[in-house]
Amino acid sequence: MTDNNNTSKRPLILVSNDDGITAPGIGFLVQVMKEIGDVIVVAPDSPQSGMGHAITVGNSLRLDKVNIFEGVEAYECSGTPADCIKLAKHYVLKELTPDLVVSGINHGANTSVSVLYSGTMSAAIEAAIEGLPAIGFSLCDYRQDADFSHVLPYVKKIAEEALNSGVPQGVALNVNFPINSNTPIKGVKVCRQANAHWQENFDQRMDPHGRKYFWLVGDFVNKDKGEDTDEWALSQNYASIVPCEFDLTAHHVLSKLNNWNLD
């Protein structure tokens, strides 16, 4: 591992995800990060998509060392992506501080409001809460055999720039890539989060025992016509970067609420 007091050594990079430690996406991410620095992996032992920023408080957590990535120290965790970052920071790494935390590469987009549900981004945001520079990477392709080849040069470039230029304190970068098509990615756009939402429905079904259950379905509705959003960038075959922070305060509403008659 890297001694962070010795600047002559390679940066220490912590890798996690939400699709599980055996997902193809994290394998590609580890591959790229090995070209940049010394890598350690702490990731869920099973898929944790849609877990958001959940943490384990009422159950035990298990952490086991595994031999999955050649030449890389790796651990699988029974908890959520946020749990993985907490365990990595406070137990696995101990006195060491990673120079960068990266999460992904997620199988599926994490644009707009999806950032709130995303385990991929929750790992990155947990790192930001811990004061660590962090990036979440996602590809707009939900298939298990998704093609990541077109995004790997951009993953490397963005990570290197984050290491060289720094990520502001308390910020996690949400990076999304368009699905591989017949035309190369046009470049990278720094964006805002699109004002969009999921129009959800619960499909009522019956199991083999005749018991009723529900399956969440729905459509993504984007009414944001701006050309500075993550959704617009991806629709135009650009990669998008949205800087995110964990402070959810609606600062512009504070003055209005202070005028309420609450006495």
CATH number at residue 118: 3.40.1210.10
* Dihedral angle sign, alpha carbons of residues 152, 153, 154, 155: positive
Does the residue 2 lie in any domain?
A: no
DSSP state, residue 187: -
Instruction: Return the pLDDT at 78.
Output: 97
Number of domains in the chain: 1
Is residue 4 included in any domain, yes or no? no
Does any domain span residue 165? yes
Residue type for position 102: V
Q: Is residue 7 part of a domain?
A: no
Which residues does 20 contact at the CB level (< 8 Å), separation at least 6? 26, 43, 44, 45, 46, 47, 48
pTM of the predicted structure, to 2 decimals? 0.91
Q: Binding residue per annotation — 19?
A: yes
- Is 49 one of the annotated binding-site residues? yes
Q: What is the pLDDT of residues 161-177, one digit of tens each?
A: 999 999 999 999 999 99
Q: Is 119 within the bounds of a domain?
A: yes
User: Tell me: the pLDDT tens digits for 188-235?
Assistant: 999 999 988 878 788 899 999 999 998 888 787 888 899 999 999 999
Percent of the chain at pLDDT > 90 equals: 79
Q: For residue 18, say whether it is annotated as part of any ligand binding site.
A: yes
Q: Is 99 annotated as a binding residue?
A: no
Residue 256 CA, chain-centre distance (Å), reads: 34
For the stretch 13-63, pLDDT in tens is 999 999 999 999 999 999 999 999 999 999 999 998 888 899 999 999 999
SS3 of residue 182 by DSSP: coil
Residue 5 is predicted with a pLDDT of 45
102 and 156 Cβ atoms separated by less than 8 Å? no
Query: Does residue 27 belong to any structural domain of this protein?
Result: yes
Q: Decide if 204 is inside a domain.
A: no
Q: Is a pLDDT exceeding 50 seen at residue 6? A: no
195-234 b/e with 16+ CB inside 10 Å = b? Answer: ebeeeeeeeeeeeeeeeeeeeeeeeeebebeeeebbbbbb
User: Does residue 214 lie within any of the structural domains?
Assistant: no
pLDDT score, position 49: 86
Whole domain around residue 151: which residue ranges? 12-194+225-258
| Beta strand 196-206 pairing with 212-222 | antiparallel
